[in-house]
Chain A
Amino acid sequence: MRKPDGKIVLLGDMNVGKTSLLQRYMERRFPDTVSTVGGAFYLKPWRSYNISIWDTAGREQFHGLGSMYCRGAVAVILIYDVNHPQSLLELEDRFLGLTDTASTDCLFAIVGNKVDLVEAGAADSREKEGHGPGTAGGGGGGSPKVPKPVQLEDAVALYNKILKYKMLDEKDVPAAEQMCFETSAKTGYNVDLLFETLFDMVVPVILRQRAQGPPQTVDVTSCKTPRRTRSGCCS
């Protein structure tokens, strides 16, 4: 078994589509998922690194395991369902606390999944009209296409709250616009973008951690990790 160089953890209420997103990305398909028990992970080679991505169980029963999964994580993906405002609230109430064990420079991404169920063009019209929460009606309606009950701004607001909670300076972390995504595991919309944007951001964090933290095992390859400086004549 290859040892992963960094860990990314997916958190969120059950049924928001964590397992589906991960399978869509790793296996390029959208199969019927069974409710995740405990947790599962994939190893994703990215550049010269191996990143492990952990899918967790959203069920209350397994909540206690979350802290352990998050321990040392370089990034946490918080997932909600754009059709269920409650799932966004849960992120703050139940899941944020689990990330206390993540590494100090852990990155956060907030992802609204299942946008395919939202009325087509809802996102566009919102952009034209300006901001503010849109019409929140018809959340669990029978119609497959409904106006989007949770707006991207809500996710941005949560992201900023997280920064406060973590006592992070906005200047030191990626901007909310970069870290809030809307996806569909069903259609694949934004799924690659989400994971690959995050992988690219995570690589410098891995490098920094290797350079700073005293590694638990002597890793010959990381000894030479160059600290990026601005010096050099023609870069």
Chain B
Amino acid sequence: MMSTKAFTLVSAVGWELLAGDKERVHVECVECCGKNLYVGTRDCVVHHFLLEERALPTGTATFSAAKQLHRHLGFRKPVNELRAASALNRLLVLCDNSITLVNMMSLEPVPSGARIKGAAALALNENPVNGDPFCVEVCIISVKRRTIQLFLVYEDRVQIVREVSTPEQPLAVAVDGDFLCLALTTQYIILNYNTGFSQDLFPYCSEEKRPIVKRIGRQEFLLAGPGGLGMFATVAGISQRAPVHWSENVIGAAICFPYVIALDDEFITVHSMLDQQQKQTLPFKEGHILQDFEALQVMYRRILQQAGFIQFAQLQFLEAKELFRSGQLDVRELISLYPFLLPTSSSFTRSHPPLHEYADLNQLTQGDQDKMAKCKRFLMSYLNEVRSTEVANGYKEDIDTALLKLYAEADHDSLLDLLVTENSCLLTDSAAWLEKHNKYFALGLLYHYNNQDAAAVQLWVNIVNGDIHDSTRSDLYEYVVDFLTYSLDQELVWKYADWVLQKSEEVGVQVFTKRPLDEQQNSFNPDSVITCLKKYPKALVKYLEHLVIDRSLQKEEYHTQLALLYLDEVLRQKSGTSSKAAEASEIQLKLQHLLQKSDLYRVHLLIDRIRGAGLPMESAILHGKLEEHEEALRILVHELRDFAAAEDYCLWRSEGRDPPYRQRLFHTLLAMYLQPGPTAPELAVAATDLLNHHATDFDAARVLPLLPGTWSVQLLHPFLAGAVRNSVHARRTAQVALGLARSENLIYKYDKMKLKGSSVQLSDKKLCQMCQNPFCEPVFVRYPNGGLVHTHCAASRHTNPSAPGPGART
């Protein structure tokens, strides 16, 4: 007899239940509807069973069938077909070419006695076209030749709605909407009973083999084709899926999406409709009917899940995972095996009957720590895999919280990744767990993720201060600085500003200097920050540098303050270590640079401050700023004896000024070198170097009288050669210019002579070149080519483009 179940066979109804005390019973047909199983026999009896599914500890399921009742229909004919219409609570029974409506529970025929007569076979329309839920569309192959009839079947009446005739005798039928899929004697066709349009599918010899027609879904059917093929066809007569390959002896087919199940005389085969591959073969002899069973899939999944747990218990994790996945296991079933992993708030309860026999992991591993660790690692990787798939839908909190707990316990790096990316970890549960495992840094991340930055920072500060211990990050202080730098919580930043600055002025100040600029405008405006930094001079210097150099703020205060701070530091260094004083410190270079480049600081204030401080270079720069070049150069030449600096000074101060200004500066310097009196030899050397390097920056004529007569020409050769070359060059250039001007003048003279040279004779014969009329007055216009025209013609020529006329008027 027929046993239901693809994939594993389960005996649902034992023989003795059907046969009772009879010796033989022949099953003709079966029908399943929910938990109701109906069996029709050759001796005209309908049996009703209630199926009860029971799971076995081994992971398989078993069905027990409780017999409800059976009823003899009162004919001497076999029950050919049974169809349940659960919406009507009716079972349609085809027997002796007549379809009777019986109550699904009592198996009593309806009192009205409604029935469909003359039916050889029937099919229900699973995609009905009429909208009435309490009405079933039934299609029958009539006992009349080549006739199909359509009926509406209500609770206690039937109504014929249409009769269509077919080109050949139909042998099997399936319905979808308006479309009938028919197996005729020699071919399959699609027939639209509404329009009468018929579409050939393919030829088939019904005499050789029994045809099969099954609706598999909206507008698509499955048909037995030649050579044991299961062919798919749409109502448009198109095959959209490749065929499945059955054996030649196929008897029946059933659909359990996405599987096609076929029965032949030896096997039940299972193919996937998606890839046409055969998935399973179950030996099953002497089957003769195959019927769909909608509960199949639910059951199948359950079995996969159970199998998954069996594999899991044997630590066969790969297999387990595959089974959990294909069985669409609610992951919480798995998580719940691990003590304390599910959040306390989780509403989950294990499925009943249970999928396995284990109370928890301790029982499963019998306390074996090694096994336990393996199971945990598996769960980690499994949850990590599924957390972003649809498997996690609805249980994200449970999954992420469990994952967090596993990571924390195992000291796993991914804990931090989990917390810094989108996650659904539940705060209270996770916080308690992290605290328990001393994962304070991670706990801070959790707080941050839950918008509790104050709590997060407080925790981290405690770690840095050594109040609590968590060595996750050795650079936690920098991390906090960074965190505050990008924190939008201004109050929080101000609250911890002192703390970060106390730890390190240079690093701590980054919370101000590295802030996004837009924020630096308001709450973190320079004045507030400077006030805060009063106590931290190093930080203040960094901050002012940020304002003056990085952001180029043009505000006198900042520049002056920065210069003063630099100066303070320079003075402090000088007083501290006199040994190093010779060499300009880094800070001193910064000071000089600022003094040179900035035009904003208060020069007099600084001059006052450095007076007597022994900073000649700086005072030279400051004098330079005040255009007091003599004083500046005096300091450089006489105090510092730094001639290179003096030269640089001239270049620096003459930047962007006109050449005479520059000359004046150089002459000032030269004069200082050549001061009357006992000239120090190095000053003389400096003077010659200056002249030789900057020959063009001097007026040689003014220089020569200044030079001492004792100097050799050789000494000043580069200067003199440069000066001579310069002056020769200037002279020649002037001569060339003069010559060019003269010749230009000559050209003009020539032109003038030419124009004046010849006379123009005006007579009656001379005609205006434009209007061809004689000149009546002694007034005319002459073109350079000699042409004569009236003055008025010449004037109009400018507005008349078609007129001839070369050249401009003279």
Chain A residues engaging chain B, CB cutoff 8 angstroms: 1, 3-4, 7, 37-41, 59, 61-62, 64-65, 67-69, 71-72, 101, 216
A-contact 0/1 string along B558-587, CB 8 Å cutoff: 000000000000000000000000000000
Stretch of B3-11, B234-242, B386-394, B646-654 contacting A (4+ beta carbons < 8 Å): B234-242
Asked if A72 meets B204 with Cβ closer than 8 Å, knowing A37-B245, A38-B225, the reply is: no
By the criterion CB–CB under 8 Å, are A65 and B238 in contact? no
B201 CB–A CB distance under 8 Å:
yes
Kindly list chain B residues whose C-beta atoms are within 8 Å of the C-beta of A68.
201-202, 231, 233, 237-239
B55 CB–A CB distance under 8 Å:
no
By the criterion CB–CB under 8 Å, are B202 and A39 in contact? no
**Which of B229, B236, B237, B274 touches A37 (beta carbons < 8 Å)?**
B229
Taking the nearest CB of chain A, how far is it from the CB of B210, in angstroms?
17
**Which of B201, B204, B242, B274 touches A38 (beta carbons < 8 Å)?**
B242
By the criterion CB–CB under 8 Å, are A1 and B238 in contact? no
Chain B residues engaging chain A, CB cutoff 8 angstroms: 200-204, 225-227, 229, 231, 233, 236-243, 245, 274, 276
By the criterion CB–CB under 8 Å, are B204 and A39 in contact? no
By the criterion CB–CB under 8 Å, are A40 and B245 in contact? no
**Which of B202, B233, B241 touches A64 (beta carbons < 8 Å)?**
B202
Asked if A65 meets B225 with Cβ closer than 8 Å, knowing A40-B276, A72-B238, the reply is: yes
By the criterion CB–CB under 8 Å, are A67 and B236 in contact? no
**Which of A7, A62, A71 touches B237 (beta carbons < 8 Å)?**
A71
- The distance in angstroms between the C-alpha atoms of A68 and B276, with both chains bound, is 18
Closest residue of chain A to B200 (Cβ to Cβ) is: A67
- The distance in angstroms between the C-alpha atoms of A59 and B225, with both chains bound, is 14
Kindly list chain A residues whose C-beta atoms are within 8 Å of the C-beta of B202.
64-65, 67-68
Kindly list chain A residues whose C-beta atoms are within 8 Å of the C-beta of B233.
68
- The distance in angstroms between the C-alpha atoms of A67 and B233, with both chains bound, is 12
Kindly list chain B residues whose C-beta atoms are within 8 Å of the C-beta of A64.
202-204, 226
By the criterion CB–CB under 8 Å, are B226 and A41 in contact? no
Asked if A38 meets B236 with Cβ closer than 8 Å, knowing A64-B204, A67-B202, A68-B201, the reply is: no
Kindly list chain B residues whose C-beta atoms are within 8 Å of the C-beta of A72.
236, 238
Kindly list chain B residues whose C-beta atoms are within 8 Å of the C-beta of A38.
225, 227, 229, 231, 242-243, 245
Closest residue of chain B to A7 (Cβ to Cβ) is: B238
- The distance in angstroms between the C-alpha atoms of A162 and B226, with both chains bound, is 29
User: Which of A38, A62, A71 has the most chain B CB atoms inside 10 A of its CB?
Assistant: A38
Kindly list chain A residues whose C-beta atoms are within 8 Å of the C-beta of B225.
38, 62, 65
Taking the nearest CB of chain A, how far is it from the CB of B789, in angstroms?
49
By the criterion CB–CB under 8 Å, are A71 and B238 in contact? yes
- The distance in angstroms between the C-alpha atoms of A41 and B225, with both chains bound, is 17
**Which of B200, B201, B242, B274 touches A41 (beta carbons < 8 Å)?**
B242
Closest residue of chain A to B229 (Cβ to Cβ) is: A38
By the criterion CB–CB under 8 Å, are A216 and B236 in contact? yes
Closest A-B pairs by Cβ, 3 of them: A38-B243, A64-B203, A38-B229
Taking the nearest CB of chain B, how far is it from the CB of A75, in angstroms?
15
By the criterion CB–CB under 8 Å, are A61 and B239 in contact? no
Taking the nearest CB of chain A, how far is it from the CB of B533, in angstroms?
61
- The distance in angstroms between the C-alpha atoms of A69 and B231, with both chains bound, is 11
- The distance in angstroms between the C-alpha atoms of A139 and B243, with both chains bound, is 35
Kindly list chain B residues whose C-beta atoms are within 8 Å of the C-beta of A4.
240
- The distance in angstroms between the C-alpha atoms of A38 and B242, with both chains bound, is 8
- The distance in angstroms between the C-alpha atoms of A66 and B243, with both chains bound, is 13
- The distance in angstroms between the C-alpha atoms of A190 and B237, with both chains bound, is 33
- The distance in angstroms between the C-alpha atoms of A7 and B234, with both chains bound, is 15
- The distance in angstroms between the C-alpha atoms of A69 and B238, with both chains bound, is 7
Taking the nearest CB of chain A, how far is it from the CB of B246, in angstroms?
10
Asked if A65 meets B237 with Cβ closer than 8 Å, knowing A40-B276, A41-B242, the reply is: no
By the criterion CB–CB under 8 Å, are B242 and A39 in contact? yes
Q: List 8 A-B contacts (CB under 8 A).
A: A38-B225, A59-B227, A64-B202, A64-B226, A65-B231, A68-B202, A68-B233, A72-B236
- The distance in angstroms between the C-alpha atoms of A1 and B227, with both chains bound, is 26
Kindly list chain A residues whose C-beta atoms are within 8 Å of the C-beta of B237.
68, 71, 101
Taking the nearest CB of chain A, how far is it from the CB of B236, in angstroms?
7
Closest residue of chain A to B205 (Cβ to Cβ) is: A64
Taking the nearest CB of chain B, how far is it from the CB of A104, in angstroms?
15
Kindly list chain B residues whose C-beta atoms are within 8 Å of the C-beta of A40.
242, 276
Taking the nearest CB of chain B, how far is it from the CB of A4, in angstroms?
8
Taking the nearest CB of chain B, how far is it from the CB of A64, in angstroms?
4
- The distance in angstroms between the C-alpha atoms of A65 and B229, with both chains bound, is 10
- The distance in angstroms between the C-alpha atoms of A4 and B241, with both chains bound, is 11
Taking the nearest CB of chain B, how far is it from the CB of A158, in angstroms?
26
Asked if A62 meets B227 with Cβ closer than 8 Å, knowing A67-B200, A68-B201, A68-B202, the reply is: yes
- The distance in angstroms between the C-alpha atoms of A38 and B274, with both chains bound, is 16
Given contacts A39-B242, A71-B237, 19 further A-B contacts (CB under 8 A): A1-B240, A3-B240, A38-B225, A38-B227, A38-B229, A39-B239, A59-B227, A62-B225, A62-B229, A64-B202, A65-B202, A65-B231, A65-B239, A68-B202, A68-B237, A68-B239, A69-B239, A72-B236, A216-B236
Closest residue of chain A to B233 (Cβ to Cβ) is: A68
Closest residue of chain A to B274 (Cβ to Cβ) is: A1
- The distance in angstroms between the C-alpha atoms of A215 and B226, with both chains bound, is 31
Taking the nearest CB of chain B, how far is it from the CB of A58, in angstroms?
13
